[in-house]
Amino acid sequence: MITDLAEVARQGMTKSAENLQFRRYLAAHHQPAEAFHVIAAKVQEQIDCTQCANCCRYSIVSVRAAEVARIAAFLKIDEAAVVQHYTVPDRESPRARTLRNDRNCCVFLKDNRCTIYAARPEACRNFPHVAPGKHSLGGRLESHCRWAALCPILFNALEEYKHVVGFHGDR
């Protein structure tokens, strides 16, 4: 298993074309996602996310009103203050809000730890979106492949899954 972030990034970028080919292979061979979820769960148990926190550096996290309320209650401040200080308008939907990024990371990330962990938004709770039975855009194989160069969990799970389903790349 590869856990060095520089090596995950290097190999993940190198394998981006292969991962596209792998997505096409899976579509043609109708492989069940359950096997991937089992593999990813085992990998996730072995990875300390606080050694990485790339998800908090590279994600754009939308927040719904209920999530703003949960963050406000956790921080013991007004919801309007959360919106004003910790969110920005979503570029694609100006009426929606996303968590603000400061210092090239989520405004709530400090020392690779989430300062609102108990109240974090659903997208953050679900990352890397590999739990069985969860069906979201983040849980689609295309998303996993895009994150392979950034997330050691997804990189290692995808590489093992390729072997399990018999994918051999350009051979």
Task: Give residue limits of the domains in the chain.
Answer: 5-56+127-164, 60-119
pTM (2 d.p.): 0.85
pLDDT digits (tens, 9 = 90+) for 4-22: 999 999 999 999 999 989 9
The answer, yes or no, to whether residue 144 has pLDDT greater than 50, is yes
10 Å CB burial of residue 94 (0-12, 13-18, 19+) is exposed
Q: Please tell me the predicted confidence (pLDDT) of residue 103.
A: 84
Q: What's 37-92 look like in SS3?
A: HHHHHHHHHHCCHHHCCHHHHHCCCEECHHHHHHHHHHHCCCHHHHHHHHEEECCC
Percent of the chain whose pLDDT exceeds 70: 93
Distance CA 144, CA 73 (A): 32
C-beta of residue 90 within 8 angstroms of C-beta of residue 83: no
The answer to whether residue 136 scores a pLDDT higher than 80 is no
In this model, does residue 58 exceed pLDDT 50? yes
How high does pLDDT run on average in the chain? 89
For the segment 68-82, the average pLDDT, to the nearest whole number, is: 98
